[in-house]
Structure formats: structure tokens, C-alpha cells
Amino acid sequence: MLGLAFIAAALTATSSGAEAAPFRRLVAETAQVGVEEVVGDLLIVGGKVELAGVARGHVYAIDAELFVRSTAVVPTSLTMIRGTLRLEAGAVLPESIDLVGAKLAGPSGEGLKPGGAINLNGAMVNLAPTEPSTVSVALMKSVLPFQRFAPGSDRKISSLRGWDPGLGLKAARFVEDPKELTLGGVARLNFVSGRTEGAFQRGYKGARGSVLFTGIKAATPDAQALYQELVKAFTQAKVSLSVKTALGDGAHWFFKSRGRYVMLWQSGPYVFAVETKLATPAATLFQERQFQDQVLGALSISLGAQP
């Protein structure tokens, strides 16, 4: 698991009131959440951020510098993986703050040693006894900012026949409205009448490698229940390299299953899965991620070009 198990609990709960405020994603930016600004969930990957306003949902920062000003209101949760957390006196903070391999700079210069805890501004700040590996941090920084692209909710899934990754990959499998599907070589879905509006599974092969692209549209406006069924199935199968998040609207999960690298995501009524594998047997994890990012980027562009 590369020491990634700790992130699941931090990112999968639904924040009270977070839906009413926008999700903000900051990647390698120098930015500010102003004193009069209100956000829902807040994801910070790299960079330097000053939080002076309200973050109603989860605040999750990785390998960044976060300065929480005295005017800030952070009622739900705050988690930091590596980087530095600076706290100013007067800020409204959650009951606990979780740090993993991160440095603390309290209002009066307070710090923490690994495994230590301290009460600051009414929040119990805990520093984990161990640090995450460089590989796990790099993987999280790669996966967490993924933008869950999806068609508009009014589209029929059957109207997306031209949606493909290109990249010189040739179609090797094309199934529409199947009675059942298998994802990741593990999760088998049987489609019950009335639960879905449509589905497809398309396989592609080329010099780069292979891709299996699956799409399902639920009969309801939100496919969260279907997504959670898949999460349960894969969890029971004990997949590896797991990084999952439900920050913002929807959710996504990257993992490895039976030699395939899978990005599974839910957005509105849709659930999609892209399974990739480079043709090079000796490919590294990050080469596999680069290939998957190529495919995901191409699919996002292809979706925008659909009539």
C-alpha cells in the first residue's frame, strides 16, 4: 500500500455544509483564500497558501506551506502530509489536526516531534510517529488533483460512440449495453433493469500499451451508490497502490489490480473506469502513471469534441 492507507479516512467523509460552497483545488500555486471568501473542501498540492477566510469542508494539504490566519474558520478537518503548517492565534480550528511528516509552527513558535501532540487554539494537533515515503507522496501529488471529467447529465451514453483516446490506439473491443461487466479483472457488475440508463466497455491496443475504458450512467442524478458498490468490491479484493478521495463533487480512486492501473471516478450520474498497462514489461510505477495521464488527457479532449 506504500503507506497510503491513512488518506482514505481523511478524504472520503462528506463535509457538513461543504456542498453549498465551491471546492477549491490549488496545485503548485501561491494563493490566498481571502478573509471574505468561503470555500467548501480545499485541496492544496505544493505551493504556498494563506487561509484567511472560511473552509467549510475538509482541508487537505500535501507537500505545501499553509498559513492559517487569525481570521480563518476551519470547522471540519485539517490534514497535512509533509510541508509546513503555520497557525496564527485566534483562528477557529477543528477539534483535531493531523500532520504526517509535516512541520508545525504554532502562534508562539510551538513545534512537535514525531508521535507528539499539542493543544493549540482549542485544536489537538497530532504529528504521526512515522513519515510517508517519497514514492507515496509523489503518487498522491499525481493522483489527488485529477479532474473528474464527464458528459452533461442530459447526454445519452449511447451518443458517445466517438469518445475514444486516440493516441494511435486501435479499438479491440466495443460492447454497448452489456448485461454484465468486469472491471479491474475483479469487480463484476450485473445490470438490473431500472438501475442504469446505459453502459459501455471499450478496449484499445497499440504500441504504447493497452486501455480498457468503461462507462456507466445511473438512472438517478447521482451515481454515488453504484460507485460505492465498486469500491466495496475492489476493497475486498485487496488492491494495491490505493489513493482515493471524495473531496469536492463526486469521488475518484487510483489503484493497481491484477497488473492493471485503474482510475475509477464518479461524477453526477456517471461512473467511469480507465484501466491502463504499458507494453513495456519493465515499466516503472511513474511511467505507468504518465501513460495513464496521457490516456485521461486525450479522453478529456475527445469528450469536449463530441457533437
pLDDT in tens, 214-254: 999 999 999 999 999 889 888 877 788 999 999 999 999 99
179 burial (CB, 10 Å; 0-12 / 13-18 / 19+) is exposed
Label residue 193 by pLDDT band (50, 70, 90). Answer: low
CB atoms < 10 A from the CB of 222, how many?
A: 16
Q: What is the pLDDT of residues 88-125, one digit of tens each?
A: 999 999 999 999 999 999 999 999 999 999 999 899 99
Domain with CATH 3.40.1000.20 in the chain: 146-304
d(CA 153, CA 264): 18
Residue type, 49: V
* For residues 249-277, average pLDDT: 96
Residue 183 has pLDDT above 90, yes or no: no
% of residues, the chain, pLDDT over 70: 93
Please give the sequence-ordered ranges of beta strands (E in DSSP) within 138-228, or none if there are none.
170-176, 180-183, 187-190, 196-205, 209-218
Q: Which of 57-61, 239-243, 273-277 has the lowest mean pLDDT?
A: 239-243
Helix (H) or strand (E) holding 139: helix 134-143
Cβ–Cβ under 8 Å, residues 91 and 22? no
CATH number among 3.40.1000.20, 3.10.20.30, 3.40.50.1100, 3.40.640.10, domain 146-304: 3.40.1000.20
Label residue 16 by pLDDT band (50, 70, 90). Answer: very low
* For residues 135-144, average pLDDT: 96
